[in-house]
Structure 1
Amino acid sequence: MTLFRPATGEVRAKGVHSVTNAVLHPWMQEQLLDILANEGGRKKDTCPREKRREATPYHQWETWLGWRLSDRYPPVRMILIWDNLAGHRSDAMVRWLFEHGIMPLYTPLGGSWLNMAESMQRILVRRALSGQYPQTPEHIISWLEQTVIGWNQDPTPFVWNGKRRERRQRARLRRLAGSGAALLSYAR
């Protein structure tokens, strides 16, 4: 199981033999609470609702969700991007996320954010298993978890730099009379 934060490159991972909801949800909840606590947040929001309404632009979230978030849940403190599996959309899990100020954002399978997380997993697996010949699943789990520890000592942030970005960059160039020369034109 992997939880990846592209902006910092930090990875949280746990090796398991199967990823059922009974295994995934408790681990995910533990990790998310730890992240919120380490980000200077509180595990339980003790701020009165009136003060939260004044301090947070709830109308943005109300429009997105289609309900009055401010009457039911604490302010949004984190956006969690994950795939659209049925277990991730279970009532209990979604309610837990909202109760802790976490907004789930579901992407379609094969979405760009999932591709980024899967790229991170491929990097870790390649580093962990390169030149190794595991004999048991426990060897694989141990090597992967050790690789994550090593990665987090000097993580590499991921920056979106795909083909679409290249096309946008080329579109900003203003060609000069068919020559190879160009001027940058900044879109406003």
Structure 2
Amino acid sequence: MWTEDEAGPYQAIPHLGSSWQPQGEPARQSHEYIRAGTAKLLTLFHPASGAVRVQGVTSCTNAVLHPWMQQTLTDILASLPEAKVVPPAENRAIWERWQEGLSVKWTLQEKLPPLRMLLVLDNLSGHKTPKLVHWLMAQGIMPLYTPIAGSWLNMAESIQRILVRRALAGQSPTNPTQLIEWLEATARGWNQHPTPFIWGGKRRARRQRAQTQRHSLGGSGAYTLQVIH
């Protein structure tokens, strides 16, 4: 499973970060606000290994995003083991299993290649163009879209926050080229010692605590927070 997202735009202005001002004196930044351009970060993230692939850009139209996604995904697929060939009916059932429970299901192609990758994307119209979706299916990639207002389900956003904080906190870039260089260099440094991601965190812990405090009523969906004697 890989996840994809576009982060930014990030401005070429001083960014907040740890400061070393003398005790009792406030942190100071330049009083000038100069618009020196912005940059965005295209990201593909593999949670199981922690590996990330990025590309810094100054614009993020479909004409920029889609070719980068296609080339990068092609490189990733080339590094994967050969796909296991199964009977057509069984292969289609594998694809359809990942559509179970979806409120909106897009039509699968008549002939499907072996499923090789799950790709999680945000629910943006640019991610759903027929040309891109057909290309993904032809490569054996199943796109899965996060629900509206559910972008936090996309772990690419988590790695982006880490990379951006490391690259820009306390820095004062003066142009988009610097922004792109620092962001990409930070991603290269991350890939030298990547950290795998496991789904969970504070939300999962809260859900688990809530479940232990609930007492079901007569086998129904209702529950109480107090034990009924």
State the TM-score bracket (shorter-chain normalisation).
0.7 to 0.9
From 48, 55, 58, give the equivalent of 1:17.
58
Cα pair 1:81 1:105 within 8 Å, conserved: yes
2:106, 2:69 → 1: CA distance?
26
Q: 1:29 matched to which residue of 2?
A: 70
3-state DSSP of counterpart to 2:119 = strand
Identity of aligned residues (%): 55
- Between Structure 1 and Structure 2, the one with more helix by share is 1
Question: Residue 52 in 1 paired to residue 64 in 2?
Answer: no
Cα pair 1:52 1:74 within 8 Å, conserved: no
Amino acid at match of 1:145: E
1:106, 1:172 → 2: CA distance?
31
Specify every segment of 5 or more residues in structure 2 that has no aligned partner in the other structure, as ranges.
1-41, 100-104, 214-229
Specify every segment of 5 or more residues in structure 1 that has no aligned partner in the other structure, as ranges.
174-188
Cα pair 1:56 1:75 within 8 Å, conserved: no
TM-score normalised per structure 2: 0.64
Amino acid at match of 2:77: L
3-state DSSP of counterpart to 2:167 = helix
Length, aligned pairs only: 166
Q: Give the 4+ runs in structure 1 shifted more than 6 A.
A: none
1:144, 1:162 → 2: CA distance?
25
Amino acid at match of 1:140: L
Question: Residue 106 in 1 paired to residue 155 in 2?
Answer: no
Amino acid at match of 1:157: P
Task: Compute the RMSD of aligned alpha carbons.
Answer: 2.7
Cα pair 1:79 1:104 within 8 Å, conserved: yes
3-state DSSP of counterpart to 1:14 = strand
Deviations 1:21-45 (A, max 9, x none): 0000000001111111111247xxx
Deviations 1:113-154 (A, max 9, x none): 23x322211111111123321111000000100000000000
3-state DSSP of counterpart to 2:53 = strand
From 49, 52, 68, give the equivalent of 1:8.
49
From 148, 151, 157, give the equivalent of 2:196.
157
Structure number with greater CO (CA < 8 Å, separation at least 6) is 2
From 99, 103, 111, give the equivalent of 1:72.
111
1:163, 1:133 → 2: CA distance?
33
| Residue 160 of structure 1: how far off its partner (Å) | 1.8
1:99, 1:8 → 2: CA distance?
25
Cα pair 2:56 2:180 within 8 Å, conserved: yes
1:110, 1:151 → 2: CA distance?
28
Greater C-alpha Rg:
2
